[in-house]
Amino acid sequence: MHLAAARAAVRRLDEATAALADGRPGADQDYSDALDLAQLLDAWDADRRVDIALDALGAVTDRDRPLSTLSVGQRYRVRLAVLLAAGDDFLLLDEPTNHLDRAALDFLTARLRAVTGPSISGQ
């Protein structure tokens, strides 16, 4: 799940809620489907998960700052944080420990151990 998908799911639920309140035909099914998707994605917690990962990896937490203004190491940490926060069932990482300090390595290790599906990383 990417952050954009979580935000889109919340928007879809908001729209379905408005349609339900307006009594539009089929709104109850649209609302049910939108709610199921938002719950599946744990959409309301997505930003918090990203914030936790950014902080734990020592990444820049200013979301208004363009990636192009960050160092290579900071860009790597931001991208890794977003991937780890997504909670995907499968991870394929290339040299995920590069540029990480001990605390960030501990966080990464814990997150990789929590992945329910396969995770493949190259060193």
Q: What are all long-range contacts of 66-75, with beta carbons under 8 Å and residues at least 24 apart?
A: 72/99, 73/98, 73/99
- List the domain boundaries for the chain: 1-42, 43-117
**Structural contact between residues 48 and 6, judged by C-beta atoms closer than 8 angstroms:** no
Listed in sequence order, the residues at least 6 apart from 17 whose beta carbon sits closer than 8 Å to its beta carbon are 31
Angle between helices 72-86 and 102-114 (to 10 degrees): 30
Give the pLDDT confidence of 15-33 residue by residue, as tens digits. Answer: 999 999 999 999 999 999 9
* 112 residue type, one letter: L
Give the pLDDT confidence of 80-121 residue by residue, as tens digits. Answer: 999 898 877 788 888 888 889 999 999 999 998 888 777 777
Calpha distance 110→82 (Å, rounded): 15
Residue 90's pLDDT is: 80
